[in-house]
Amino acid sequence: MNRLSGMTLLKTRKMLLVAPLAAALAAGGAWMGTATAQNSGAVPPASSADAKRKEKQVVAGEAEAKQLLLLMDRDQSGKVSKQEFMGFMEAEFNRLDINKDGELDVNELIQSKFVPRGGVHR
């Protein structure tokens, strides 16, 4: 594996670990916003800028999902089985568990050197 594809693989794996957390936070925020709007009777205004931002996020999410599929789909069936998914996640956990104690702590997660999808701004 060349260095560029290795770095891409590493970034994609790190994204996989952060994506569920980000999705949970986004879903929680959307739920709270909906609950608040329902309780107050107010309907949040929708702007075209919001719609464009959401569309870009969906497109980016689809591209990331395709990359993850390629990484996890060991038998190249075009789908990820539970066995493939769990194997991938176990390998990621083992990679992040630096002290090999069977648990991830904050320091191990910080040391994973996750770089946000947008890259580094200069």
Whether the pTM exceeds 0.75: the reply is no
Domain membership of residue 83 (yes or no) is yes
Highest mean pLDDT among 30-34, 62-66, 95-99, 107-111: 95-99
pLDDT bracket for residue 116 (50, 70, 90): very low
Residue at 118 is within a domain: no
Residue 84: inside a domain, yes or no?
Answer: yes
Domain tally for the chain? 1
Residue 17 lies in a domain: yes
Q: Is 99 within the bounds of a domain?
A: yes
Q: How confident is the model at residue 2 (pLDDT cuts 50, 70, 90)?
A: low
Q: What are phi and psi of 95, to 5 degrees?
A: -65, -40
17 with 92: CB under 8 angstroms?
yes
Q: Rounded CA gap, 26 and 49, in Å? A: 18
pLDDT for res 121: 43
